[in-house]
Structure 1
């Protein structure tokens, strides 16, 4: 049977090769071949041979981590082999570029490059002469923009040779990017000149290396040699970075050693082609300082307060753009490196893409939250100043100060939950069952924490009823004080003696608001039985008019001070009742001033205040006076004890 199968396969190969010249076989032979292929034993043998070939291919061609290891090993060996050929390959590439320019009637490329830079520098110098000097990132970047525009106009106006055009474009772009980076580095590290010089040198070498590596293929440089050039430049940059750490940074030795080890690890990641992890490490090293510098530079572009929408958009938006560019570059690195471990595993690739999209979602959510939070904070700050406003407007602002902090907390929770759900969906998680499960879990939590639910719901109804606002003085059960703030489940009360009560809404019960709209303050004064009541009424009316005209307390009155009349006959005199209507919270202050003015006015008009006295029968007047004195002393001691 095996011989027959081998013969059949050989026959198939021979007939397929000869099919182009020989005539087609007879129909009888074709029928015999089809019959053999339909034989179960032949089909089983063919399937076994197919599986053996697939297994052999799987063994011969490793995949996953093994394939990456083989690829990295062969790449490193190729680079080490190509290093001695760098001078010859570079000289040949430069000769090709020079020949391309000269053959088309142009000067050598380095002369053309120098000429373009000279023309751009002259235009920049003229711009600086014509413009008054100023300070700021935009002002420092304007000359570079003039240089870029002039060079770009000349470059695109001339029809350069193909190879010369690529070389000029690569090095001009690198030079312009270096100019921009040098300005930004000067703004960030203006106080550390040694670090500024090294940072500019590092960026210059990196850009020159990138331009040179980009031109490897157009100049005909071998790919292994181009990679070897990149690795040589990377070793030079590593040495410069380590020298900067030990020479220009004022840090402890332990931190310098840690930074050196971290830089070495980054270089190893670059060498073994783990560019995704390499760029993540670069971001961890550079992004914090870069974001702070970007925020400071954006803040100098506006004089608006930090809570204003313009300032938030400039500062937070500029930082978000920097992070988005970093994420975009990381996505490009992974996308254009199909041989990476991330792209070889579909699950890992999906997770990484979801994480990158999640970063963008977080940036958008943070920007929206900062804008909303800034508006809420500005509104709360504005509503705190109610000087000279109508009572309705004062009440409206007080309600804002009460509700907006709660709305801010609820909005923060909502934004966080929505951003989290979107990120989970980008990571491939089915959020539908998650939302349903969260609803069921919420119901279970609600039954298990009825007190918490009661507090939250009670707080909602207190807010809907406008029972109290921030700044008002309330009393509920045994708690009283000025409302300082809210959470979702409790209110914070500041007692007039200083202690702070944090009371759950469910424990408040009936609320007595002592600061809403107006307050009627009543007090009593006892005068002697021989007092002229009408005279006392006129004096009180004059005092009320005087208080009403007072510049300090006059605006605090709603109804002036009035004497209501005789309240009762006391043991030692007549009790007179007084009343006045004031704005909430100021009645005690006004009453004290009224007491002082009434005392002085009554004494000046011969009205005596009632005093406790005891009259003892007989001729012993000294004994009666002594008894009255003793009684008065006892009553004063009793009153002092009650106050204490």
Structure 2
């Protein structure tokens, strides 16, 4: 390092490295400016050649067709279209006579059926003829443009029928698509017809000006809900300037920025229109489904996902092949853009998977709620679903979010290996630091695996009892029958007494006098049990009807009769109250009384003795007063 030459060489290298980024940027800017200037000069010099080269190409196509025995290109194309329209007419006369319940399906078949028949017939005729080379190119490009335009017309018509596109928008869309199809076919023919490339670019510029005028006319004449003229004029001016800027980007061949600007305006409205159209089709196919059902979500969000994926694929194609994207010269920016495009697709798939899963789980929960209110054998299964599905939904959401986030970070160039390892170490540290939390979570998992309780069941554990309302990862929420809510961690539950599982046996005792006819009472109770079983409201809740088991024990003031019945869990109290009422009325009608405690007190005998004693005492006092001398006066 002390060598002067080596030190001088290192200083020069550092200076070059410091100047390299600015030099590279300056070179890119200068290259772009020189390219734009050369392009402008070439196009300006090609303007006088436009009519000459077009006329020459038209003459060569006509002469080649005439020399091979063919009519002019426009006549052959018209004949081919007429043959296709004849096949379309035959399809309408035969297939479209069928009636469909869904009007959108009928419109779909009415729009796409003729288009398919026209495409098949015209393509078959085109492939069967041995065309001259130039005439083959002309007919092929214009036929493809015609077929594509008709397909776009059919899609726009269906969108209008579904309410996603207005009549004004439909007419302007047809006009724009028609001009765009002719422009695409004409500019694509410049290379097969040996037309100068700059002349073809000028032709495409001419069509682009026409398309720009159509867009501006649609902006200023569109129906608007805005009633303030000044606000409407300001919005129209902004949209017009935006359209002109997009046209300038296209003219300058900045296709990446051009398509991003198109997406910014068209994509939100297109997604809304596609969503409404898909929803209308799905509603016509499954009229009983609600908006949040799995099939409706798949139809609507799936259609939107397809549109977004197609848009990302196209912008990726443009980014890869656009020669004027200066950002591609920087590997970091290029990798970031490619990662962002891939991340969009990943997020779309993650959102679609989550929405489908959520809709499916919510649909199952709704079905479980309906089944739980019934008394069928599906009630137990419904209760288990209502218990496990919310937990599974939350866990699935966490998994989808984590997987999508890690995948997006990986596509953006972030090394996710250290993140995963760090998350594992952090999880271990959290586990050691919060053993109670881990205990609650693990206990909850085993409670759910053992199917100890479900949502809607009444349980008791220690001093906690109530109806299970919901779960979390670490606790259960119990609603007491008097209203209070207990949030009990799973680790504190211990042994659980489930009072709502399978069946409930209810027993009670009634006291009657010693002289009661037990056989008669048993016969009466048997009739009451049959009446309860035949009751349309109570009968389905009884598994084994009311029976009198016999004399349970002999008490101090009567005998105790034992009664029992088996019912669905949670309904035994209601049935017992009804049984009490019916037993009381039946016993009173048949002269059977209920035993009551009595106490016998000899009150009358004690009163007579007391009176006799008091009389004897008074007589003795009178005799004493008569015998004794009077006191001295």
**Given the two structures, how large is their TM-score scaled by the length of structure 2?**
0.77
Q: Is the CA contact 1:269–1:275 (under 8 Å) kept in the aligned structure 2?
A: yes
2:146 aligned residue (158, 171, 175): 175
- Judged with a 3 Å threshold, the aligned counterparts in structure 2 of structure 1 residues 66 and 501 are, in CA distance, closer, same or farther, namely farther
Aligned residue in 2 for 1:147: 118
Q: Is the CA contact 1:83–1:229 (under 8 Å) kept in the aligned structure 2?
A: no
Q: Is the CA contact 1:72–1:273 (under 8 Å) kept in the aligned structure 2?
A: no
- Judged with a 3 Å threshold, the aligned counterparts in structure 2 of structure 1 residues 453 and 141 are, in CA distance, closer, same or farther, namely same
Deviations 1:425-484 (A, max 9, x none): 333332222211221222334445555444432321210121111232223456544334
Q: How far apart are the structure 2 equivalents of 1:140 and 1:387? A: 47
2:249 aligned residue (262, 265, 269): 269
* Superposition map of 1:347-386 within 5 A: 347-369=332-354, 372-373=357-358, 376-377=361-362, 379-380=364-365, 385=371
Aligned residue in 2 for 1:281: 261
Q: Compute the RMSD of aligned alpha carbons.
A: 4.0
Q: How far apart are the structure 2 equivalents of 1:256 and 1:593? A: 76
Q: Is the CA contact 1:514–1:584 (under 8 Å) kept in the aligned structure 2?
A: yes
Q: How far apart are the structure 1 equivalents of 2:482 and 2:33? A: 74
- Judged with a 3 Å threshold, the aligned counterparts in structure 2 of structure 1 residues 68 and 557 are, in CA distance, closer, same or farther, namely same
Q: How far apart are the structure 1 equivalents of 2:34 and 2:458? A: 77
- Judged with a 3 Å threshold, the aligned counterparts in structure 2 of structure 1 residues 82 and 611 are, in CA distance, closer, same or farther, namely farther
Matched, 1:232 2:206: yes
3-state SS of paired residue (2:96):
coil
Aligned residue in 2 for 1:592: 577
Deviations 1:504-554 (A, max 9, x none): 434544433210122122345455676555544443333224323444433
Aligned residue in 1 for 2:221: 247
Matched, 1:433 2:418: yes
- Judged with a 3 Å threshold, the aligned counterparts in structure 2 of structure 1 residues 598 and 354 are, in CA distance, closer, same or farther, namely same
Matched, 1:405 2:390: yes
Q: Is the CA contact 1:298–1:318 (under 8 Å) kept in the aligned structure 2?
A: no
- Judged with a 3 Å threshold, the aligned counterparts in structure 2 of structure 1 residues 162 and 200 are, in CA distance, closer, same or farther, namely same
Q: How far apart are the structure 2 equivalents of 1:316 and 1:523? A: 60
1:518 aligned residue (499, 503, 509): 503
- Judged with a 3 Å threshold, the aligned counterparts in structure 2 of structure 1 residues 216 and 451 are, in CA distance, closer, same or farther, namely farther
Q: Is the CA contact 1:518–1:583 (under 8 Å) kept in the aligned structure 2?
A: yes
* Superposition map of 1:264-343 within 5 A: 264-284=244-264, 285-286=266-267, 287-293=270-276, 295-296=278-279, 299=282, 302-303=285-286, 316-343=301-328
3-state SS of paired residue (1:194):
helix
Matched, 1:90 2:54: yes
Q: How far apart are the structure 2 equivalents of 1:214 and 1:355? A: 32
| Displacement of 1:355 | 2.9
2:545 aligned residue (534, 539, 560): 560
Aligned residue in 1 for 2:130: 159
Q: How far apart are the structure 1 equivalents of 2:423 and 2:510? A: 66
Q: Is the CA contact 1:304–1:310 (under 8 Å) kept in the aligned structure 2?
A: no
Q: How far apart are the structure 2 equivalents of 1:151 and 1:220? A: 27
3-state SS of paired residue (1:425):
helix
- Judged with a 3 Å threshold, the aligned counterparts in structure 2 of structure 1 residues 292 and 371 are, in CA distance, closer, same or farther, namely closer
- Judged with a 3 Å threshold, the aligned counterparts in structure 2 of structure 1 residues 468 and 211 are, in CA distance, closer, same or farther, namely same
Q: Is the CA contact 1:528–1:574 (under 8 Å) kept in the aligned structure 2?
A: yes
Aligned residue in 1 for 2:90: 126
| Displacement of 1:118 | 1.5
Aligned residue in 1 for 2:525: 540
3-state SS of paired residue (2:383):
helix
Deviations 1:73-114 (A, max 9, x none): 543565466556544443344334334433443222122211
Compare 113-122 and 179-188 and name the one that shifted more.
113-122
- Judged with a 3 Å threshold, the aligned counterparts in structure 2 of structure 1 residues 298 and 423 are, in CA distance, closer, same or farther, namely farther
**Given the two structures, how large is their TM-score scaled by the length of structure 1?**
0.76
* Superposition map of 1:578-617 within 5 A: 578-609=563-594
Q: How far apart are the structure 2 equivalents of 1:138 and 1:65? A: 54
- Judged with a 3 Å threshold, the aligned counterparts in structure 2 of structure 1 residues 389 and 329 are, in CA distance, closer, same or farther, namely same
3-state SS of paired residue (1:132):
helix
Aligned residue in 1 for 2:471: 486
Q: How far apart are the structure 2 equivalents of 1:334 and 1:581? A: 75
Q: Is the CA contact 1:484–1:493 (under 8 Å) kept in the aligned structure 2?
A: yes
Compare 198-207 and 74-83 and name the one that shifted more.
74-83
Q: How far apart are the structure 2 equivalents of 1:205 and 1:332? A: 24
Aligned residue in 2 for 1:634: none
Q: Is the CA contact 2:61–2:73 (under 8 Å) kept in the aligned structure 1?
A: yes
- Judged with a 3 Å threshold, the aligned counterparts in structure 2 of structure 1 residues 453 and 568 are, in CA distance, closer, same or farther, namely farther
| Displacement of 1:563 | 4.0
